[in-house]
Structure 1
């Protein structure tokens, strides 16, 4: 029920997928399978990289951080979706809604930065191979990851404090399956100009600039690959970054579609599903299927566990 303007919002009603109520059992089972597979495969990827010494390199270290980010994202969004689907909508406390948005924002912005660091790693490996080990040393990698995590928690937390100072008088209904920025501030009865301005300002260093760095890195990579005389050499070199390029395209493609076409309500939900549910599921699959080293390390780990039993 919507709240009157004289009352402050204490609960949020997430409407979810109103056109799928007749299929809610099947949707729930599908989401449950996706959730379990996503968590298990990302944990398995972290285990494989940690176990195999041959994978103790910057590229795979960053890949484990991406898996941590994907686990954070899927555990933030999907469990509450179970209630939304089964009960044809779900009530969530206002503070719980803001908490969900906080961890969602951290994981999304963190993924942008991680994909940027990974593209920089591929740039150094292909365009400056002689200096790769000196530039991408262990100290740099640890500092880069710590900086990414700390920046995301602080920046998102600061932004959340700004949102928390708004007045939310109602209504209390969000036509979405999770608490995103735009649906939340639409419930506010305060002036939201400065909040939107802060959102745009934060998007520059944490979304736009990383995207520009990724584009620059891959333009340089492609130009370097084209200079390789043999076709086999070009194919082998490009294969080392093809999986990362596929993940970047999937993630940024869906994310940009959301914000370029903000008025597509049903389409927006489907696109949101793509980068909140499907992307964490596909990331480890894309990397493992296209990477021979990961497949070999997984086989060795499986054999060792088999003989141990």
Structure 2
């Protein structure tokens, strides 16, 4: 039975395949199962175990079964805010933390509720653009080069913005650093200049810092230091804690963007409801 399988699909997902990173991961597992030695450069997953105290916390709270608040467990939100205050030197408030089933899902919700354009520097992580396409969002690619170390500069950003008709329409710029797939990061001076342009043009920054704590010299700097009122920090347990399969991500907002957080929480309440309770309790320990 055909059931009009093509025309019955949402036009935005026609031809959409599995995420390349997930497809690569499955292929790697298949080849490893055949006894072949494979170096996996697909999924960004730590080869190291989740820290023992965090595993013990998950075991201790395995009995927790109640639905938790849609924005997240209060103790976890406070722990996340404290983490960013200590590590990133930003004035994070627990009331402005949103917990989700992975930062990937939170990015999708952000694009869903935000009325405006998404600007993504390329090369980039493989899911930013497909998420926008699924939602039918306008996405603008800001191309970088090997000569520029795959970085955008403040001047390049300004040039990109001034090439558009409406200079002050709603826009989100995605910054991912240390970057996936290039692994490179920005200096404090570069971030200061990017922040200055973002403030001038009233652009919201989604700072995807999921790899921030894996900076090899411990020198990660959050752009939220220089543009606190307009930056959302994206983080989670996937990389530094090696717990990608636990699916726990966080967005930390400034007070000035609480309206955006509230809209995302409203959609979350109608979709995934809340993140797994035992994992949130373990997240406090993490």
TM-score category by the smaller chain? under 0.3
TM (norm. structure 2) is 0.24
Between structure 1 and structure 2, the one with the greater Rg is 1
- Which structure features the higher share of helix residues? 1
TM (norm. structure 1) is 0.23
